[in-house]
Amino acid sequence: MSESFRLSTSERIEIVKWYAMYQNAGEVAHQFQQCYDRTPPTRKNILNLIQKFEETESVEDKPRSGRPRSVSTDENKERVRAAFEESPGTSLRRALSELNLSKSSLQRMMKELRLKPYSPQLLHALSDNYPNRRCEFADTFLKLVAEDSSFPDRIVWTDEATFKLNRHVNRHNCVYYATENPHVVVTQESNATGIIV
């Protein structure tokens, strides 16, 4: 039976009872849909369940084959939780190195711990003369529009990325891992030297 369609033990028992009563997988599917108001298992899955019941006298799944997970222990989960709680801005690469875990194991444990990446909100560091400069810019812009009404249409708005040379935050590679949004705010100067790509 597929992972997306799991039957509870009580649902499996009902299927076995219905099959004993009707001896018809199609009728069992119909009864299932009426009783549980959801898509029933396929006839093949019903017949597989009946065969398993006849062979094992149980509706429970057999133990899963394969190697059990040895890395996703409670101890390792606690190490991951503590590492990101202590330093939520740690990159995945650094966490992999510090915790000595594989990428897939770390990502699985982070998902189980509901740790999600949150980007900081960037705000411009404002000085006392910024309100005056903004008013001056608005006046100049309005004057240019009054002189030529097509002026705003000639402005090219692009999606370029700016990389600052003063080591300030770049939202594209700065994240904080937490179970809830920490609402981190970073202020930075808007006119720092940088490269536009």
Look at residue 64 in the predicted model and tell me its pLDDT.
Answer: 73
Distance between CA 160 and CA 116 in Å, rounded? 26
CB atoms under 10 Å from CB of 4, counted, come to 5
pLDDT of residue 2: 44
pLDDT in tens, 9-24: 899 999 999 999 999 9
Instruction: Determine the 3-state secondary structure of 196 from DSSP.
Output: strand
Give the tens place of pLDDT for each residue, 124-152.
Answer: 777 777 788 889 989 999 999 999 999 88
Q: Which residues of 50-77 are buried (b: 16+ CB within 10 A; e: fewer)?
A: bebbeeeeebeeeeeeeeeeeeeeeebb
109 closest CA partner among 145, 68, 79, 130: 79
H/E element holding 36? Answer: helix 25-36
Residue 4's pLDDT band (cuts 50, 70, 90): very low
The pLDDT of 91-106, averaged and rounded, is: 90
| Helices 74-86 and 103-112: angle between axes, nearest 10 degrees | 80
- Return the domain boundaries, the chain: 9-56, 74-114, 121-196
Q: DSSP letters of 137-189?
A: HHHHHHHHHHH-TTGGGGPPP----EEETT----GGG--EEESS----EEEE-
Alpha carbons 124 and 187: distance in angstroms, whole number: 5
161 — pLDDT class (breaks 50, 70, 90): low
State residue 180's pLDDT score: 85
Residues 27-72 have pLDDT tens digits of 999 999 999 888 999 999 999 999 999 988 888 887 777 776 678 8
Model pLDDT, residue 167:
61
